[in-house]
Amino acid sequence: MLALLRAALDRGRLDGRAAKDADSNCIPIRHPSFRKPDPLIYSQPYLMGLGLAVTWDNPDVELRRGGVVVPSSHLDPDTDYEIVARIWNGSTNAPIVDLPVEFSYLDFGMGAVSVPIGSTKVDLGVKGGAGCPAFTTIHWRTPSVPGHYCLQVRLTWIDDANPLNNLGQENLNVGQAHSPAEFTFVVRNADEERHVFGFEVDAYELPEPLPCEAIDRPSQRELQRRSVAPAAARLAPALPARVRALHDRAAHPVPEGWSVVFDPPEVALAPGAAQTVRVSVEPPPGFVGARRLNVRAVDGPAIAGGVTLVVEK
């Protein structure tokens, strides 16, 4: 997904050629009457591709047991749960009927293999309309083997204005800091090349949205221009400076006094290979409460995935 986003940028958005590019070399359609919906979910791969910080405690994915919300890190084996997904539409003029929503899970970790759970369909209204966001639920019986599992929700639509924001993950692990809090996860190299993954940590949490008046609203003419913009401009939009600053990883460093140690500090993985990594998180003296830390495995532009660790004391 990140490779597709970089390719979109390379096609000319940054050098001024995007206005001449068409979505298709065969049938370049450019007219306001040709409308594309944009089904989307909180998508960590897409947001990371835009250079933003992310949380793996997905705000659009919720687990329930008997109608009661439960954290994804505290699931019992061989037990029935409901997964609820919240779906959005970035389009103000193109609704969707019977949008397919696919559910799956990964063995807990980064870049693991996806195991299908099932799929549903949902009607999705336009942005700002009564049918947006839409909600869909699927029943899931957890595997009989105890452990942590990363949930995935994927939206599939053949004529999507932005097909890169359709995959959301829920990957959360909670540890008690009796001394250091200890976590483990598996890193897998899903790429076709060998990578040496190191680990990056930040303390980003979803902030309160900026008030509408704090952001310059585009004119109707600008909105119309964007509706027929080429794919490169839609896949990598120019974010307002205040929005980008709010979600910048550099603005959310690990707080002073916290220690995060990885064992091993990096992993060299051949294509398809996997390795277990242990993390020790030591809060400062006197810490009480809960702190979220986001970890991602990276090798330059290659990202294996990530997990949000919750340290409680």
Domain boundaries, the chain: 31-207+247-312
pLDDT digits (tens, 9 = 90+) for 203-244: 999 998 877 776 666 676 766 666 666 666 667 777 888 888
Q: Is the pLDDT confidence value at 119 over 90? A: yes
E-strand stretches of the chain:
39-40, 61-65, 68-70, 80-89, 96-107, 109-110, 114-124, 134-141, 149-155, 167-170, 172-176, 181-188, 195-202, 259-263, 267-269, 274-282, 290-299, 302-312
Q: Sign of dihedral through CA atoms 225, 226, 228, 233?
A: positive
- Those residues whose C-beta lies under 8 Å from the C-beta of residue 272, and which sit 6 or more positions away, are 188, 189, 190
| SS3 per-residue string spanning 184-248 | EEEEECCCCCCEEEEEEEECCCCCCCCCHHHCCCCCHHHHHHHHCCCHHHHHCCCCCHHHHHHCC
Q: Report the SS3 class of residue 2.
A: helix
Which pTM value belongs to this model? Answer: 0.82
According to the CATH classification, is domain 31-207+247-312 in 2.60.40.2310?
A: yes
- Those residues whose C-beta lies under 8 Å from the C-beta of residue 297, and which sit 6 or more positions away, are 110, 111, 187, 197, 198, 199, 267, 303, 304, 305, 306
Q: Is the pLDDT confidence value at 173 over 80? A: no
Name the token pair of 103. 């559910």
The letter for the amino acid at 89 is: N
pLDDT digits (tens, 9 = 90+) for 42-97: 999 999 989 999 999 999 999 999 989 988 877 888 889 999 999 999 998 899 99
pLDDT digits (tens, 9 = 90+) for 20-42: 444 545 555 555 545 789 999 99
Q: What pLDDT does 27 receive?
A: 56
